[in-house]
Every structure is written in C-alpha cells, then in structure tokens.
Amino acid sequence: MKRYVSGAVIALFLLAGCGITYVNPEVGLRNTTANVEVVEITTRTVQIANSAPYTPMSLPQVFYAATGGGSTSGNVGLPAQPFVPNEQRQSANLRLPPPVDPGPYEIGVGDMVLLATKAASSTVEELSGLLAAQNQRQGYTVRDDGTISIPDVGSVQLGGLTLEEAEAEVFQALVEAGFNPAFSLEVAEFNSKRVVVGGAVAQTALVPITLTRLDLGEAVAAAGGVTVPDEEFALIRIYRDGTLYQIPYEEYLSNPDLRNTTLLAGDAVYVDTTYDLDRALQFYEQQIDVISLRQEAQAAALDQLQTEISLRRAALNEQRDNFLARTELGAEARDYVYLAGEVETQSRFPLPYGRQATLADVLYETGGFEVETGNPREIYVLRPSSGGDTVVAWRLNASNAINLVLATQFEMRPNDIVFIESQPITVWNRAVSQALPNLISIARVTENN
C-alpha cells in the first residue's frame, strides 16, 4: 500500500530542519560573548573611524634608490661638417659661441715674470742676483712644473695662480729666505695662453691672451685684418672645444657687439668663404687628431660609467627580488584585512605600502561582493575597540548607491574584517537546497512501504 507525504509534513520537516538546515552567519548580539556595537557609516562617523591611529608600512629604501649618477669629462665633438662647394654660392647663418667669462689671468707654463726690487744698496748686496736679472731685463720663465727658480730663494710655485696670488707666494718665499720683501711682480711675456688666427688674413698669427680679455676684433687686427675678394660670402669661423661657430663677415663689420666676442685660450679663428673651404679644412686637420683622442677618452669613461651603473642596478634588483621572495613566502611582516560572508572570494587583503587603503579598495580589488546573494544593506567592517572589550561593527547601507561614496572615504586598519550578510531569500534557498535531498529520500521510502 503506497503512502504519500503531505505538504504539511514537508513544511514541518523544513521548519524542523532535522538539524541539517543552513545556518546563516550574521552580525548581531546572539551566539557571541563579545560586546557588539553597531555604528552606521555616515559622513560624521567616517571621521571617527578614520581617527584610529595607523601608519602604513613603508617599502624598503632599496625601492626608492636609483642607479643613475656619475658624469664624464671631455664632452668634445668633431667640427661641423664643412660646406661642400657647388655651382652656386650660398650665404651662411650666424652661429655665435656662448657668452663666457674668462676670469682673472692665471700664470701658466712658458710665461715670463719680472721681479723688481728696491735699488737700495742693502738690497743690492743681499739680492745681487735678483738686481742683476732686473738690470738686464731678464725675468723668470715658468717651468713645466709651474715653478720659477729665484737665486738664493729657491723654487716658487706660480703656475695656475693669478697675479695677486703669485705676489703672495713670492712675498712668503722672500720672507722665509730672510730677504727684504719689498718687490713688484709683473708678467713680462704671455706665452701660456694664445689664440691662433689664420685663413684669409694678412698673416697667420698667434695672439697671446694677457691680463685683459681678448676679443675677436683685437685678434683679427693682430693678424693684419681680413683679406677676402668678396665680403658678401666671407665667414669668420671660431673653433672651440670641438664646436665650430661662424660669423658672416658683413654682420661682423656692421655689428660692433660681434667684434667684442670674447675669445678663450685654445680658440682657433679662421677666415674663409662659404664656397671654398680647402684652406679651412687643412687648418682643422691638425685639430682633429687631438679631438679623436679626447673622444676615445670619453668613450672609455662612458664604458666605465655604464659598467658601474650596471653593477648598481644588478645589486638593487637582487635586493628587491629578495624582498619580494620573502614577502611571497610570508617572511616579511604585512598588515592584512580579512574578507568574509557574501564576497567574491573569502580571503585576506594586504594593506598597501606607503598609503591608506579604503573599504572601496578592499571590496573592488578582490572582485566586490556577490550581488545575487549578498545583502547590500548589511555591509560591515568589524573592528575591535581600542580597549579590546568591544567589537564595533561599522555598517554600510549600500542599497542606495550614493552611500558607496562613503566606502571610498572609510579607511581600513590592520585586522579589520569586512563581512557581508546574505540576502533573506539566499538563506531560504540554501536551507531548502540542504533539506530537499533528504525529503525526496524520505518520500521514496514512504512510497515503497
């Protein structure tokens, strides 16, 4: 005889649950020994929650270090490629060297200095050698090591000194040697710093740089002036530290400021035309070898710098990789926030280094919450109070999407628990899904009996 299970029996079974129905976790005062205080998240309470002190952990200093640095000397390039002659003449543009301040004259190797002393008899007797040199107009040439040799006094270092600094050195040397330090010092011949002028000038000249600055007009005048058949296409070229500058001759004549261009030791001035540079090329050939040597030295310095930077970068990367490996293995301390309830994945969220994380960061970095099963009215952040005797449940009602703005303002703290309750229908569905297989089994047993 078959028996059928009535709807009342099924309902009774569901209500009783036989101890197997779904138990839904929720935030409340039941089934807990902790004191729970539920606080709604509002614009005012967000400020209270964020007042809890917390300083985010910082990355090791190695993540802020850079591998750059260092510099190379001898930044020299070859002269600009000269104009290639063609059937038509072409005028050139003005390219001035940058303004420079040569500073006070510094005595160099090859300069001759003249030391003059008092002509008193006592001085003659004590410094007969010095006076004899003066009377014969014989000075002292600065030697390769930058010194001059004064009889009965010795060597005095003058190379690289201004005239004022050199006078102080000579004064000190005379005093230490026991001589009357009444003297005057002047540079009689300027041989250490010169500018060469060549090309379409009256005569090639080596123009010395003296105590006063040397300008372009003086250098050209010292070479006898410019001699070109056609001033329209004449150029005054200045070759300095591997760079070729040029001044059209007509502009040079019409603009006094161009004639006042300051020249430096080692400059080469060449006058030519834009359509005939044969002599200019010959003039520069002797400079190219020197520039090539400088470039080789620069290349070696760059290789050395690149090697040093590569070693620094490798060391930094090794330290960074070691830190990341320790972090993955859990050997480095981290601050975490834990996610539970109806979230995409029940997991823990590491708080970032160097900045604050918000509730929105935690929710949406991990995929957000389950919109089908999660209750947007019941989003909680569970946080123990400072004394540890109370758990504050900060509740966010996100049924109105406007309140999600509060989630972007609510700052997280280590060991916070983000919990989202289930929808009421979700609780019922899960209870039914657990009970239904048992009901079917019971119904079949009853029917068979």
pLDDT tens by residue, the chain, 449 residues: 444 444 444 544 444 444 455 556 666 545 555 688 899 999 999 999 999 899 998 888 878 777 666 555 545 444 454 444 444 455 578 888 998 888 899 999 999 999 886 654 444 444 545 544 444 445 889 998 889 988 888 889 998 999 899 989 988 888 888 887 788 888 988 988 999 998 889 898 899 999 999 999 999 999 999 888 777 778 899 999 888 898 988 888 888 998 899 999 989 999 877 555 445 555 666 566 666 666 777 778 778 878 888 888 888 888 888 988 888 888 888 999 999 888 877 888 999 998 999 999 988 887 666 667 778 888 999 998 877 678 899 999 988 888 889 999 999 999 999 998 877 655 555 555 655 566 566 666 666 66
Q: What angle do CA 95, 228, 272 make, to 5 degrees?
A: 40
What pLDDT score does 122 carry?
A: 47
What pLDDT score does 23 carry?
A: 57
CATH topology for 112-189 is wza like fold (3.30.1950)
pTM recorded for the entire structure: 0.42
Lookup result for tokens 């009970």: 435
| Six-digit token string for 56 | 């985010």
360's CB contacts (< 8 A; 6+ apart) are: 404, 407, 408, 410
Q: Are residues 187 and 112 in contact, defined by beta-carbon separation less than 8 angstroms?
A: yes
The answer to whether domain 7-57+334-440 and domain 194-276 are alike in fold is yes
Relative to beta strand 35-40, strand 390-396 is parallel
| Backbone phi and psi for residue 295, each to the nearest 5 degrees, phi listed first | -65, -40
| Backbone phi and psi for residue 432, each to the nearest 5 degrees, phi listed first | -65, -40
What pLDDT score does 161 carry?
A: 92
Which 8-state DSSP code applies to residue 304? H
What pLDDT score does 27 carry?
A: 61
What pLDDT score does 425 carry?
A: 58
For helices 7-16 and 424-448, the axis angle rounded to 10 degrees is: 130
- Separation CA 418–CA 363 (nearest Å): 8
Residue 16 CB: number of other CB atoms within 10 A?
A: 11
Q: What is the per-residue burial (b if ≥16 Cβ within 10 Å, else e) of 304-318? A: eeeeeeeebeeeeee
Domain ranges of the chain: 7-57+334-440, 112-189, 194-276
Helix then strand count (H, E) for the chain reads 12, 18
- CATH class for the domain made up of 7-57+334-440: alpha beta
The amino acid at 80:
A
Q: Are residues 237 and 286 in contact, defined by beta-carbon separation less than 8 angstroms?
A: no
What pLDDT score does 433 carry?
A: 62
- Separation CA 192–CA 169 (nearest Å): 20
Question: Closest Cα partner for 266 from 185, 333, 192?
Answer: 192
Question: Closest Cα partner for 190 from 122, 139, 260, 126?
Answer: 139
Q: How far is CA 140 from the centre of its chain?
A: 50
The DSSP string of 126-171 is HSHHHHHHHHTT--EE--TTSEEEETTTEEEE-TT-BHHHHHHHHH
DSSP bridge pairs for 244:
239
| Six-digit token string for 310 | 């590569």
Q: Are residues 60 and 319 in contact, defined by beta-carbon separation less than 8 angstroms?
A: yes
| Six-digit token string for 87 | 């059937």
CATH fourth-level superfamily of 194-276: Outer membrane lipoprotein wza domain like (3.10.560.10)
What pLDDT score does 91 carry?
A: 57
SS3 sequence of 216-239: HHHHHHHCCCECCCCHHHEEEEEE
